[in-house]
């Protein structure tokens, strides 16, 4: 398998892939505009922050997989990839601890004015009185917006510091609910209740249309007048003009790791009124940038590529979660060559589209069962035709 790396990955991860027979081409300086001219002939593309556009994927004559070495996939045109039949996979959760550590670091730094006092000391100024006005964190309330892997890790660290953690009551998996209960997270009826209760609000939401600009003037008006806002998620989540107004008109402060208009590369000049604001503690989009996190993400990236090499797909974000279907067929059959091809031919003759399909072998490998989700009208004539096929044992239909 030929793999193009448009961003860096650890040497050990790349060597592991090469040891498995993959050809790995490292071009970490490529930009989004460069990709279309370089991606042809590669089976897989690995990126971290480089944007992957529709034209880049269209130029990938052999491209079947794009891997985001990290969690968020908002820099990849996932819809165009789906239209082209290209898998987009990510590596979720591997950097959760690192981002949570930074979120808590910003909480502490904001409360104790660490960045400002360091800057003053370096400039030769000593002002104990000015920096002795910290509120303290023990017994305060942290509202977490987005209780995914990072939100959970942040909650655990906050609770260990004696901070009460609250979040919005939403539908969640049993494992997440159990983890929240173990930590002691309290659920409140809605977002408004969380914002009203929280001394600190920490954002851990994905990027995308649903969250762009969610922290607007209305959101900020529902927070306490002296609350702290922490953002280690996505810059576009915050309406920066609205936050600047709130910082100027209230006692709010903020700890920000991500901005809407960051330099496209790791270095460069920045002209941000929000970053310059004296009530904002700033880091340089480094939430996932620890050695531990980078190694964990690299390992997860290799796992995605190795599974793809064997025909398996893990962590895919652009497959239909609930395919359009009108019925499910269960076809029990003898495990013989050509049985499923005959079944599919009958479905085609009735203009039925297969939305999803699986085939499982019974113990002993004599018989199997195919489960086929279809879109279209299933009638008795079709069922009789499938039932009459050689080596078909029985067929049942279940309408959805």
- Asked if residue 242 and residue 269 are part of one domain, the reply reads yes
Does the structure show a pLDDT above 90 at 80? Answer: yes
Q: Which of 58, 172, 177, 262 is catalytic?
A: 262
Q: Answer yes or no: is 213 within a domain.
A: yes
What are 323-336's pLDDT values in tens digits?
788 999 999 999 99
The rounded distance, in Å, linking the Cα atoms of 351 and 377 is 9
Summarize pLDDT for 101-137 with one digit per residue, the tens. 999 999 999 999 999 999 999 999 999 998 998 999 9
Above 80 in pLDDT, residue 322?
Answer: no
The answer to the question of residue 51 being in a domain is: yes
Percentage of the chain lying above the pLDDT 70 cut: 100
Residues 56 and 107 in one domain: no
CA 210 – CA 234 distance, rounded (Å): 12
What is the rounded distance in angstroms from the CA atom of residue 93 to the CA atom of residue 148?
Answer: 9
Q: Do 255 and 199 share a structural domain? A: yes
pLDDT higher than 80, residue 286: yes
Let me know whether 296 and 244 are in one domain.
no
Q: Beta partners for 142?
A: 165, 200
User: Is 240 an active-site residue?
Assistant: no
For the chain, what is the mean pLDDT?
Answer: 95
| SS3 state of residue 340 | helix
Give the CATH number, domain containing residue 359.
3.30.70.260
| % of the chain surpassing 90 pLDDT | 91
- Residues 181, 171: contact at Cβ < 8 Å? no
Task: Classify the C-alpha dihedral 310-316-318-319 as positive or negative.
Answer: positive
| Catalytic annotation, pick one of 68, 80, 94, 234 | 234
Overall number of domains in the chain: 3
| pLDDT value at 53 more than 80 | yes
Give Cα 204 distance to the centre of its chain.
Answer: 10
Task: Give the model confidence (pLDDT) of 326-371 as tens digits.
Answer: 999 999 999 999 999 999 999 999 999 999 999 999 999 999 999 9
**Residue 20 within any structural domain of the chain:** yes
Same domain, 41 and 160: no
Give the pairing type, strands 87-90 and 65-68.
Answer: parallel
The catalytic position among 172, 284, 285, 325 is 285
Domain assignment of residue 33, given as a range: 2-93+292-309
pLDDT, position 265: 67
What CATH number has the domain bearing residue 25?
A: 3.40.50.720
Whether residue 291 contacts residue 2, with contact meaning beta carbons closer than 8 Å, is answered with: no
Active-site residue flag, 177: no
Catalytic residue flag (residue 234): yes
Among 299, 300, 270, 301, CA closest to 285: 270
């Amino acid at each position: 398998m030929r793999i193009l790396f448009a961003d860096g990955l650890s040497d050990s991860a790349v060597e592991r892939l090469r040891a498995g027979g993959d050809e790995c081409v490292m071009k970490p300086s490529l930009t989004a505009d460069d990709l279309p001219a370089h991606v042809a002939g590669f089976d897989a593309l690995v990126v971290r922050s480089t944007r992957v556009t529709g034209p880049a994927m269209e130029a990938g004559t052999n491209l079947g997989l794009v891997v985001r070495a990290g969690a968020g996939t908002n820099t990849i045109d996932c819809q165009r990839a789906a239209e082209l039949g290209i898998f987009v996979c990510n590596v979720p959760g591997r950097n959760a601890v690192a981002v949570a550590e930074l979120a808590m670091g910003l909480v502490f730094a904001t409360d104790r004015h660490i960045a400002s006092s360091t800057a003053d000391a370096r400039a030769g100024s000593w002002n104990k009185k000015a920096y002795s006005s910290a509120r303290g964190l023990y017994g305060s309330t942290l509202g977490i917006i987005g209780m995914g892997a990072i939100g959970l890790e942040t909650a655990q660290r906050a609770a260990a510091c004696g901070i009460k953690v609250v979040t919005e009551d939403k539908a969640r998996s049993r494992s997440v609910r159990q983890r929240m209960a173990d930590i002691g997270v309290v659920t409140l009826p809605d977002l408004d209740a969380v914002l009203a209760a929280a001394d600190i609000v920490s954002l851990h939401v994905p990027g995308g249309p649903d969250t762009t600009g969610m922290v607007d003037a209305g959101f900020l008006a529902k927070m306490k007048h002296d609350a702290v806002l922490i953002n280690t998620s996505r810059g576009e989540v915050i309406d920066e003009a609205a936050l600047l107004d709130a910082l100027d008109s209230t006692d709010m402060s903020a700890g920000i790791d991500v901005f809407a208009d960051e330099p496209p590369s790791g270095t460069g000049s920045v002209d941000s009124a929000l970053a310059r604001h004296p009530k904002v503690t700033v880091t340089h989009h480094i939430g996932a940038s620890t050695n531990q996190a980078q190694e964990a993400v690299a390992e997860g990236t290799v796992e995605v590529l190795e599974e793809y090499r064997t025909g398996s797909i893990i962590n895919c974000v652009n497959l239909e979660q609930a395919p359009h279907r009108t019925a499910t067929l269960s076809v029990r059959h003898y495990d013989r060559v050509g049985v499923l091809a005959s079944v599919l031919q009958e479905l085609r003759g009735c203009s039925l589209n297969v939305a999803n399909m699986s085939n499982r072998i019974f113990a002993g490998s004599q018989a199997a069962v195919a489960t086929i989700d279809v879109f279209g009208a299933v009638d008795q004539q079709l069922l009789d035709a499938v039932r009459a096929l050689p080596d078909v044992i029985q067929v049942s239909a279940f309408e959805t």
